[in-house]
Structure 1
């Protein structure tokens, strides 16, 4: 029993263990809770060790994911900002787009790394779904076509850190939109 994604990430291991029947549920901790509440003896859950501890279950096997490098990140979204603490390491993810122009991406990244020594751990760019193609007429015989991009950046800092707050404030000055995910 487990969330479909968790079951898929353990498919080979579960098969090797001889577990043929798998039941998908809404979440991994919920699977552990259900097994504990129903006092099921012949059912297991793909869940965290914390879920096992919370619901008084025995851990039968650990690290059962098929890919040992697999990492799952969980995000919390809220209408109002939730300011994280600074007493432990945090990774913050943001999504932003930039106005077209030379050096815009450099300026955006500089507000983190160069000016505030905030370590960037990941960066991806994807064409903007709502505005994938922009036509620029610069008096040429054929107009130039440009893609607008969204930039996904992870950095090591809590949003409670003044450096991170200042970096995002500076980023707003040079770009269009920012979406923050602590």
Structure 2
């Protein structure tokens, strides 16, 4: 076994074959899927929610002139890309207040799409109401559960009843449709414009530094470069044993590669591992998948060496994508 240190001067086998291939039916149109235009004017982008959702704002930040396509659930967003109904997808993966969105981590593994970019979006939670209504008149406020939690102090001061909905833009749509003066919503400024509501207050979240990170997904990976900072996302599993996770993470430390994110998820189809590590019988432990983001491009030899080293330790390894880091906050 070779750990490739310190010279690492062997003939390198390109690591890209770790990216699984996925054969799909032909495209529905002759649209240029390369997204070479920086404004995304030829790109259809799927997102979860209704027009005015924060996910739509993230799509427009990534591709300012794209055509956004709303989907009712996260699963539908993945399928829209796989079936060539859209070119890209934008999905939230973590929030600075609410943490990771575990459902989307699971879907990343289940589906065979590639991460081709990320978007960091500053969330501006606004209190919306019918035209002419004052915020003191509100008795009910609708929104996504996370938005309600993130604005708890403001809502408690108002003394309103919190009502959960599937997404924030949907809350704005319901408020506009019901036309009940004592009902408001927490959503974006864009949602207020779309559904004809007034913005009664802006930035009502408890934590002013509220940022959601989104991933951009596509059917094919991009060719990574080294002209700007890149991030690589992977998922792997390990055999049971002392120090195996330390050894896995050390392959990056040995090459001075920074890890920006580590997330563990129990394996859905084999959640428990039975280990007989004593004379007192067997024990059951969760069997985990580890999702890691590291700050290096697959075009860099150090990243390729690190993954080659990790492949010697891991029983499963998949590269989810290599993409430019969003530095536009």
Q: TM-score, normalised by structure 2?
A: 0.38
Instruction: Give the counterpart of 1:134 among 268, 274, 293.
Output: 274
> Is 1:13 matched up with 2:154?
yes
Distance 2:232 2:191 in 1: 25
CA deviation string 1:18-58 (max 9, x = no partner): 4x2443221113334x1696495945432245645776765
| Higher strand content, 1 or 2 | 2
**In structure 2, C-alpha distance between the alignment counterparts of 1:121 and 1:161, rounded to whole Å:** 16
Is contact 1:131-1:148 (8 Å) kept? Answer: yes
1:24 counterpart residue number:
164
Shift in Å, 1:175: 0.8
5+ residue gaps, structure 1: none
Residue in 1 that maps onto 2:312: 173
- Give the whole-Å Cα distance in 2 for the aligned partners of 1:37 and 1:154: 42
Aligned mates of 1:25, 1:16 — CA distance in 2: 21
Which is bigger in relative contact order (C-alpha 8 A, separation at least 6)?
1
Match of 1:2?
A: 143
Matches within 5 A, 1:5-154: 5-18=146-159, 20-32=160-172, 34=173, 38=177, 42=181, 43-49=183-189, 51-52=191-192, 59-67=199-207, 94-115=234-255, 117-123=256-262, 130-136=270-276, 141-142=279-280, 145=283, 147=285, 149-150=287-288, 152-154=290-292
**C-alpha spacing 1:55/1:119, structure 2 compared with 1 (3 Å):** farther
**TM-score, scaled to structure 1:** 0.59
SS at match of 1:100: coil
Q: Secondary structure at the match of 1:112?
A: helix
Return 20-29 or 172-181, whichever deviates more.
Answer: 172-181
Task: List per-residue Cα deviations over 1:139-163 (Å, max 9, x = no partner).
Answer: x7555647454254543547x6435
Structure 2 gap ranges (5+): 1-141, 322-329
- Residue 123 of structure 2 is matched in structure 1 by none
**Alignment partner of 1:155 is 2:293:** yes
1:14 positional shift: 0.9
8 Å CA contact 1:128, 1:147 repeated in 2:
no
Instruction: Rate the CA distance shift 1:101–1:76 in 2: closer, same or farther, 3 A.
Output: same
Q: Distance in 1 between matches of 2:309 and 2:287?
A: 19
Across the aligned residues of Structure 1 and Structure 2, the Cα RMSD in angstroms comes to 4.6
What whole-Å deviation, never above 9, does each CA across 1:110-143 have from its counterpart, x for those lacking one? 333322x332234465776735342347xx7555
Q: Tell me by how many angstroms 1:109 deviates.
A: 0.9
